[in-house]
Structure formats: structure tokens, C-alpha cells
Amino acid sequence: MLKRLARSAIGLGIVLAAYWLYGMIAVPWIEPPRSAAGDPAPLPPPVSERQAMFESFFPPESWQRTNPKVLESDRGVLLFQEYEPAVDGRIRLYPVTVVFLPKRNDASSPARPVILNAPDGAEMLFDAKLDLTRARVGRFLGGRLIGEIEIHSPPSEPLADDAVTIRTRNVQLDERRIWTTQPVVFRFGPHHGSGRDLR
């Protein structure tokens, strides 16, 4: 029973992380921004506010704090240094970090971020060539998170023992599934487990 629960928790973590990455990369190009008629589009946070947020998440020498390319949505922030579009609809981003910022229920408590790091990057496939200059993207067909992947969420409060860490490698994505055949190791507070070949 405990093994089944651990496999389910690991699978859920991988699915959520891949969903967030898909939401950060594909959804902003597929769906137009939502706004009420007459409402001005929200402005991106000032650079100093963004830098302050990154300072709390990443060490001073990290690439995430040294002028990364940034794509923002209401769900979070996608950071990467380089991208290489290909003629066949593929795009490679590297290195990649996704910071998912859930909405706060209570304004007095800070939002607990979920951070996905893929140092070797991600490769996504669309049915048409991606054109970032015109914000054109085809339908998402699949992709992969390359190499080592770490998903981390800090404790909900300074002394809480509920931090989450999931580590795996080479996660595959398509329109309906997210999976890896590689070992997956997770820690949730004092609890830990592992599995492999998770879908």
C-alpha cells in the first residue's frame, strides 16, 4: 500500500511539473490573453521586483540571476538562456527553469513557489515552425525535458517540515501523457521514496 502511495505521489509530481512547463511554453502562445473589455493589460512586474524574487530563489552566481530570457504568464515564469528553433517545428530551450507561482488564498501569507530546473534544457515539437518574433506557435505534439530534472518547493513556513523535492531525468511529453523510464526519487518533508517507469 505504501509503495503504491509513493508511486502515485511521484507520478503526480512529474505530471504537475510537466504540465506547468507545457503551460509556460505553449499555452501563452496558443491562447490570447484574457482581459475584460476596457481593462488595460496588466504590466509585467518591475525589473527590481522580479530581481528580488529571483534573489530569494537562486544563488548570486546562478544563470537565472544573470540576465536570462524571461517569459511570464499569470501562472509563473519561464527562464532560459538560449533557444534554437528548427525547420520541423521543434524548439530547444536551454538551460530551463520554470517558477510556478500559485495564487494566494490569503494575502498575508506568501505564495509557495514550485521550481523546476532542467539544466540540459527542453525540446518541444509543434506542428508548425515556432516564430517567437510574431508569437506564432503550432499545436503542441510532444517534447522532452533533457537530462537531470529537479522539482523543488520550499517549506510552506520557515520552520515547517514540508519541503518537496523530486529528482529524475529524461521526461517525455506528448499530447496525452507524461512519463519517464528513469528512476524517480522524491522527498516530502521527512518522507521519501523512489520509483521508475512512471507515467
**pLDDT over 70, % of the chain:** 67
Regarding predicted confidence, which is higher, 1 or 67? Answer: 67
Mean pLDDT, the chain, integer: 79
| CB atoms closer than 10 angstroms to residue 1 | 5
Confidence check: pLDDT of 31 > 60: no
Mean per-residue pLDDT, 29-43 = 54
pLDDT for 106-136, tens place per residue?
555 567 889 999 999 999 887 777 666 665 6
Does pTM top 0.75 for this prediction?
A: no
Terminal-residue alpha carbon distance, the chain = 18
The pLDDT value recorded for residue 156 is 87
User: Could you give the CA distance from residue 24 to residue 77 in angstroms, rounded to a whole number?
Assistant: 7
Contact of 65 with 55, CB cutoff 8 Å: yes
Sequence letter at residue 179: W
Confidence check: pLDDT of 15 > 80: no
Confidence check: pLDDT of 188 > 90: yes
User: Could you give the CA distance from residue 44 to residue 47 in angstroms, rounded to a whole number?
Assistant: 8
